[in-house]
């Protein structure tokens, strides 16, 4: 019986809060209002004002020209060191009778190979290139070779390939080559 009486007293107090005992509730904050029950008004007070612009990110202007680049020379060598990355070796070609003399600066300690690619348009399968191997012997800074067996007056482009120049991270050979403009053997 005592338990039922205690439960009868505590249930209204628990459900009704301090108002059942006649105590006043805490005063609301000055920015919030309490609407009358069932009035449908929002309890959020919105003060009108001006919109704030979104922050804008500004970037400095880019330079219109790139700074000059200088490449260091290889230590212990009078020949200029090759720059890193994809390189085109300058090729000098001199036309001779049914041949071409090809010269280029020595850029690596590896062997080179050259070919003269015919520039006349032909239909069907294209002929295979005939590469001429050029070992790097000597100590000079210029390598020279002659490609023979060409047709006089026909247009050719000379391709130069520096073999053994290392590999890129994906395993492919490092591109390190050169090409001439169109030349005509005498």
- Residue 98: give its domain's CATH number: 2.60.40.10
Q: Which domain covers residue 115, as residue numbers?
A: 87-179
Tokens describing residue 129: 């290139």
* C-alpha span between 112 and 89 (Å, rounded): 11
- Give a yes or no: residue 143 inside a domain: yes
Instruction: Please list the helix, strand and coil fractions of the chain in percent, rounded to the nearest 5, in that order.
Output: 10, 25, 65
User: Tokens 């020279």, residue?
Assistant: 144
pLDDT digits (tens, 9 = 90+) for 60-78: 777 677 777 766 555 555 5
What would the pLDDT profile of 135-179 be if each residue is shown by its tens digit? Answer: 877 678 888 999 999 999 999 999 988 877 767 778 777 666 888
Run of H or E residues at 12: helix 2-16
Distance from the Cα of residue 32 to its chain's centroid? 55
pLDDT for residue 30: 52
- The answer to whether position 140 is within a domain reads yes
Q: Is residue 96 part of a domain?
A: yes
Q: Is the pTM of this model over 0.75?
A: no
Between CA 112 and CA 164 the distance in angstroms is 9
Give the pLDDT mean for 113-128.
Answer: 90
Residue 134 counted as domain residue:
yes
> Does residue 40 fall inside a structural domain?
no
Tally of structural domains, the chain: 1
């Amino acid at each position: 019986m005592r338990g039922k009486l205690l439960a009868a007293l505590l249930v209204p107090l628990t459900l009704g809060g301090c108002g059942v005992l006649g105590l006043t509730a805490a005063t609301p904050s000055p920015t919030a209002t309490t609407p009358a029950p069932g009035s449908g008004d929002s309890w959020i007070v919105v003060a009108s004002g001006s919109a704030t612009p979104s922050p804008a990110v500004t970037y400095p202007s880019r330079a219109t020209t790139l700074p000059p680049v200088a490449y260091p020379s290889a230590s212990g060598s009078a020949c200029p060191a090759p720059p890193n990355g994809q390189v085109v070796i300058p090729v000098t070609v001199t036309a001779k009778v049914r041949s071409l003399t090809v010269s280029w600066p020595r850029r690596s300690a590896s062997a080179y190979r050259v070919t003269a690619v015919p520039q006349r348009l032909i239909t069907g399968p294209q002929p295979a290139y005939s590469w001429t191997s050029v070992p790097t012997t000597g100590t000079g800074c210029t390598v020279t070779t002659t490609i023979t067996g060409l047709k006089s007056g026909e247009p050719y482009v000379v391709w130069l390939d520096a073999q053994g120049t290392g590999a890129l991270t994906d395993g492919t050979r490092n591109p390190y080559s050169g090409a001439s403009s169109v030349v005509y053997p005498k």
